[in-house]
Structure 1
């Protein structure tokens, strides 16, 4: 029996779940609950919040992207129907426990989260094995490292080592940034060429291989040093190098007026946020009067927020048989709201727009929720309706 359209591939189900989680959880935590979690005791609410954004919203978005993209790249059948529902069921317990910050249930929640990520790894690994290709192996390796960082966070919480938990959360954020870099390296080629030639008959844009992978390499080195030598100044210089690599990569967006198309610009803004985030982290660890939270929020709210929304828009259209020539109005509004949410959250931490402080947390959460809400309103009907995937939709 053919599954309903929303269960026909991973992103049709997982993108809306990620958007719903991203819209509702932070709004209720910050605006309604005032940052407090009813059952959080040993673990600070700030770490719970960071964990749920990285492994909840972003983790499910990653599952939607890889669960659809890898079968497309390998020309294999994507997971459908009950398989997708089983994955969603594995993801859900961690989100419910994380919503209330139930320290006592953190370890069982971790088992579900690790099982979810391992099941996703198995699905994409099997697709590569069927085609006997290692071309996309980097995504599987980084997904397994992402799984290991989740296990590290849960272990650190169980052991009461909050400093280790903070390093594991930062490592997870870095891993996701590398995955963004790898994904953008594939998506940008398709998106920029279509922006330059909507007919798809020509491919005038060719990326520079070194520029594509330098940022990810620098982030990898930074993450390794932060984990092994947390007190060393080496990590500060590597953070500056990573930031410079992301800014160097902005040259990919020097394509004239086409750079201002929403789907192109949003990926570029996410890349710029990533560069600024690593520069801020490096400056903080060299003694400049910038809080480490500023750099981390540039990465988590700015860079990854924009990256996720860009993928939601691009893949959400192309995997439902629609092109990027005329974006629905919800795409433009959701993108603008996501960038605005990042700026509201970050600027007061650099003593810019200080008038927003201390209300910028709640205001940013409202705008952030509105971004996901607008995207859901516009794109859920597409994802629930029958549609034909376009060749090369995810690069």
Structure 2
């Protein structure tokens, strides 16, 4: 009787491809580079618009274009770079790379180009092009999370879906000539929840790793009920803020959320990270989360205006956290030492200054526009330094293979 032998199958290869264009080898490469460049270009175009009257956004409206490109242009690229790099680590699957990555990036880039002068193609067509990116990113990430059976990460994708809805709503409100405040707040709320969820993993984890190498005994507290309560309260507070930004219930819940997130941060040993700016900056960025909750709770009293409160979240929490993650991930995934050299530290410093000046400008009405302009220049300087320092690595440097 003939014996049958099972066919030996080759294992599915895992890891990063070492052939083809480096820029398309991993999601963080094109998207982090583009995020850095667009952070500078978009802010620069807005400054030119303010100074010269250049019709940025044409029929879409200059102020609306600026807000959109900060929330859905720059930040969506930074988010895509992070998710396309982190999800393979969560699922153990291969990263999206090569032609699929190039197509996804082209969709993001097309949205940026058509919205600069949407009248050239028609506002409807421009909006249609821009709306495609976030649902496509959501679909790709959802496929990977389901295939990897990482069900707990679906809550991260819920925030991406909220961003896609916020983007579509923002465009619809612009076309209808209505106030975009609700869509703005929904987008900011989604990003703050992502910082709460993902930042709640990476900030204490990176801090623990760094402190452990220094043989420090007091390490960040592990995730427990306080963390869950902080996230649930944040979700409630942000949900109320989106719908009823000045309601008493919003004020009360946001104060509680701010206090819980301040307590959460205090358990991560922030004061022990001053020697390593690559770690310290994560704590500074997360500190803007409770500050943002307190700021929006003060808006109904008139002590803080709505725009200033919003910018505590956007420049402080979102801007600084994305810059911190982009620089750290770039260093880690290209084989650079996990420490912040002078140029990186300078980029953090500029953005911290900008994050303080933008909401703080309301305290000095006589110099309000000057301080807002300086804040914008600090934003541009921070991301220009990122592009100068890390652009060559993103384009050409591969992480050395383990021997």
Deviation, structure 1 residue 266:
1.2
Q: Encode CA deviations 1:36-92: one digit per residue, 9 max, x unaligned.
A: 551657755333211110100001000000011001111100011121221121112
Counterpart residue number, 1:171: 186
Deviation, structure 1 residue 27:
1.8
Which residue, out of 320, 323, 336, partners 1:309? 323
Counterpart residue number, 1:250: 265
Counterpart residue number, 2:356: 343
Does residue 375 of the first structure (1) align with residue 386 of the second (2)? yes
Of residues 241-250 and 96-105 in structure 1, the stretch that sits farther from structure 2 once superposed is 96-105
The CA distance in 2 between the partners of 1:34 and 1:209, in whole Å, is: 50
Does residue 239 of the first structure (1) align with residue 267 of the second (2)? no
> Residues 31 and 38 of structure 1: is their aligned pair in 2 closer, same or farther, counting only changes over 3 Å?
closer
Deviation, structure 1 residue 231:
6.0
> Residues 230 and 187 of structure 1: is their aligned pair in 2 closer, same or farther, counting only changes over 3 Å?
closer
Q: Is the 8 A contact 1:242 1:278 kept in 2?
A: yes
The CA distance in 1 between the partners of 2:362 and 2:296, in whole Å, is: 13
The CA distance in 2 between the partners of 1:247 and 1:370, in whole Å, is: 29
1:200-239 map, 5 Å = 204-229=219-244, 232-239=247-254
Does residue 21 of the first structure (1) align with residue 34 of the second (2)? no
The CA distance in 2 between the partners of 1:58 and 1:68, in whole Å, is: 15
Which residue, out of 346, 365, 368, partners 1:333? 346
Counterpart residue number, 1:362: 373
Q: Is the 8 A contact 1:152 1:168 kept in 2?
A: yes
Q: Is the 8 A contact 1:117 1:147 kept in 2?
A: yes
> Residues 198 and 314 of structure 1: is their aligned pair in 2 closer, same or farther, counting only changes over 3 Å?
farther
Indicate the structure (1 or 2) with the bigger Cα radius of gyration. Answer: 2
Which residue, out of 267, 290, 293, partners 1:278? 293
Secondary structure of 1:178's aligned partner: helix
Does residue 34 of the first structure (1) align with residue 54 of the second (2)? no
Counterpart residue number, 2:12: none
Give the TM-score normalised by the residue count of structure 2: 0.87
Q: Encode CA deviations 1:103-159: one digit per residue, 9 max, x unaligned.
A: 984443333333211221122112122222312111111111111111111121222
Deviation, structure 1 residue 167:
0.9
Q: Is the 8 A contact 1:273 1:302 kept in 2?
A: yes
Which residue, out of 98, 107, 118, partners 2:115? 98
> Residues 64 and 249 of structure 1: is their aligned pair in 2 closer, same or farther, counting only changes over 3 Å?
same
Deviation, structure 1 residue 244:
2.0
The CA distance in 1 between the partners of 2:332 and 2:52, in whole Å, is: 37
Structure 2: which 5+ runs fail to align?
A: 1-16
> Residues 54 and 23 of structure 1: is their aligned pair in 2 closer, same or farther, counting only changes over 3 Å?
same
Counterpart residue number, 1:320: 334
Counterpart residue number, 2:79: 62
> Residues 386 and 30 of structure 1: is their aligned pair in 2 closer, same or farther, counting only changes over 3 Å?
closer
> Residues 364 and 99 of structure 1: is their aligned pair in 2 closer, same or farther, counting only changes over 3 Å?
farther
The CA distance in 1 between the partners of 2:91 and 2:227, in whole Å, is: 21
Q: Encode CA deviations 1:153-197: one digit per residue, 9 max, x unaligned.
A: 1121222221xx211111101111111111211211331023213
Counterpart residue number, 1:47: 64
> Residues 371 and 75 of structure 1: is their aligned pair in 2 closer, same or farther, counting only changes over 3 Å?
same
Q: Is the 8 A contact 1:10 1:68 kept in 2?
A: yes
Counterpart residue number, 1:290: 304
Q: Is the 8 A contact 1:319 1:388 kept in 2?
A: yes
> Residues 281 and 101 of structure 1: is their aligned pair in 2 closer, same or farther, counting only changes over 3 Å?
farther
Secondary structure of 2:369's aligned partner: coil
Q: Is the 8 A contact 1:239 1:282 kept in 2?
A: yes
Structure 1: which 5+ runs fail to align?
A: none
Q: Is the 8 A contact 2:185 2:242 kept in 1?
A: no
